[in-house]
Amino acid sequence: MARRKKGRAVDGWLVLDKPYDMGSTEAVSKLRWLFDAQKAGHAGTLDPLATGILPIAFGEATKTVSFIQDGLKTYRFTARWGASTTTDDLEGDVLETSDHRPSKADILDILPEFTGTIEQRPPAFSAIKIDGERAYDLARDGEAVVPPAREVTIHSLRLVDCTSADEAVFEAVTGKGTYVRAVVRDMAEALGTRAHVSALRRTAVGPFTEDMAVTFEELTGRDALARLEPGDRNVDRYDDHLTGIEQAMTEYPSVSIGRSEAARLSSGGAAILPIAQVGPIRNGQADDIEPVLAMEGDRPIALCRLEGLKLLPTKVFNIGGH
């Protein structure tokens, strides 16, 4: 006899406005407890000292996490000139200092160097694995960590404001795997100085934006860092804050199917679509298309691959049938 899973079968996304000084794993654990959810995970780590959008998936929504992780991310951050740190942010110890402060004109001149597909070396304190170990674990143990450089894509990088000679505020739209702390470190080197991130906020992840976000205070009526109490687990009021799986997949094609097609996909079989439905999805593209979200009414059925007129399920959602 299968062991019954603990918690409720909660499905959907919560767009959390993560508070300062809370780790992403801690945030997921708190929310999983508050929602009494069987399963939860996040789409993209946010540093403890950063704030902003941390999308958290519950239940069947965890099957769409990889697609959110692959989405564009928008950050607003502050570079503090004059000192580099071991962590490239406020948390670390000072490594080197510099008296040089870049001018606004100098900053604007170098921005094109950090836009597009570039080589970036992740910070020593990062989740990158080196010989099977997390870089931050090795760094905390006192080892000299130099993660290998890799290609990342920065779609846009703009100077928002020079708030003082010591600090400048930027906004960046990045692809997967980009470290803002490394951007600031490398910009400072290009400008002949040293720097670290003194403030960082993520304002969007894929389709999820600030206007969709909820704070711990809005959920519980208590401070985000307060110890959770049994009375905080008021699940009836929390579910209203969930966003559906279809919202997470708005950047990908979707198709409406009937009950018989839904039944076939749910059992792992293929469904044949009318040419009239396939045309808008393909938009002239002849190759296979993946993912395509199949919906029966307002219920997500499966993520599929479209081969010709045939939908083949790659991930089936078990919603309403737990």
Active centre residues (catalytic): 47
Give ∠ CA 31-35-40 in degrees, rounded to 5.
60
Strands 51-58, 195-205: parallel, antiparallel or unpaired by DSSP?
parallel
Bridge partners (DSSP) of residue 201 are: 51, 76
My answer on whether omega of the bond before 291 falls inside 30° of 0, hence cis, is yes
- CA distances 225 to 22, 26, 130, 173, Å, are 8, 10, 32, 29
Q: Hey, is 25 helix, strand or coil?
A: helix
In this structure, the strands spanning 73-81 and 195-205 are antiparallel
135 neighbors 125 (Cβ within 8 angstroms):
yes
Q: How far is CA 223 from the centre of its chain?
A: 24
HSE-up (13 A, CA, CB side) for residue 227? 1
Distance separating alpha carbons of residues 263 and 249, to the nearest angstrom: 21
Q: Report the candidate in 262, 220, 269, 256 with the shortest Cα–Cα distance to residue 241.
A: 220
Q: What is the Cα–Cα distance from 226 to 232, expressed in whole angstroms? A: 11
